[in-house]
Structure 1
């Protein structure tokens, strides 16, 4: 089996596991410690406040959130299913840190999946209405940039791609995209100012413009350029030791 096929199989298996998971084992009660821990860690990873390879020690998380070890383990399992955390036998949980080769393979897979999504959306007779919520998302992305809210800008620029997949109505595809977007976002350099770089609101808006015209080829071309620029910005990072308390649990 080729490397690309192995990657597709691995992502699909992870997506199927996520799709079949018992919702009772996932953070569900809004405001619960489990829910808050998941979202604080998820946001900190997506916003590059917790760098790749940071170790998420169960003992530290138990202290930060004043909760039991089994709750911490459920949250870490959920984050691992979403591609944000790697669980290593006898070593523990670490913020995911895909290799440069893996990151580029994932971007190649994203090119294929997002091309299919755009093809399906462009063929919808009511595509303008369907993508209207994404127009609002891009507007929020633009506002976050103009107000120098970089954490929100990073999160929205990543969520745009998952939101596109959700419009396809294919739950398995959405889970695959969520995992791929999460892991590739980890690898995009966090030190660059957004400006006209990849994952900017300008490029997202241009993709929506092409969809609204029903021009699948143009939308796919713009997406290919967009993702290619993202892949070019991949920069592995080795942060060394990191204090979880400096980022997590501040709302307690």
Structure 2
């Protein structure tokens, strides 16, 4: 499948999506969101892809925000529909993928860009990265899950401060707040993400998918995360990966998970 605004690559169990609008600092517009949704589905459906890395092209930006010109004249209903559709087809979709997604933040991750990074399962950043949710400086609020995911990651008080002040923080501050897991140089960013992906790929993809469901359940209203964990734990006993994993352990060898 050919894309205009993103680059999709895959090999050796790894999928990579690169947002490729460098002249716009990789800002998210309607077409890019649609293409990202299609690309994630493509990689999710590929049984050979075990981990997905999401990054931006160039050295300046992961995603520098949304394309404001697209919605500057929207009505109330149009604004609500914009947020609803975006969350459904991309942001919530990424969060609930069974394939782990690592955001490799290579520069500015602002507004919708930070929201997209937060929808990924975890984040690594280059030391030149800057992050923030500046929406209130435009008279609006984060609409792609930012008011929900930022407090989950950094706590309510710090999230309130960052959203209300529209502050832009450094990669080191983001790591100290728990927003990103690791900070490295720009040159080492993708190698680090690939190294982490390699560690993930050594484990059972079926068990990892179950773990994602269980962890996410803790943050969903009306759902008992402990019950989801119990059910997912039990389901693992019926998988070929469980048989292989326990057999390999007892035989004192490395497992060769079939992913079933």
Same-fold call, TM cutoff 0.5: no
The higher relative CO (CA closer than 8 Å, separation ≥ 6) is in: 1
- State the TM-score, normalizing by the size of structure 2: 0.27
Higher strand fraction: Structure 1 or Structure 2? Answer: 2
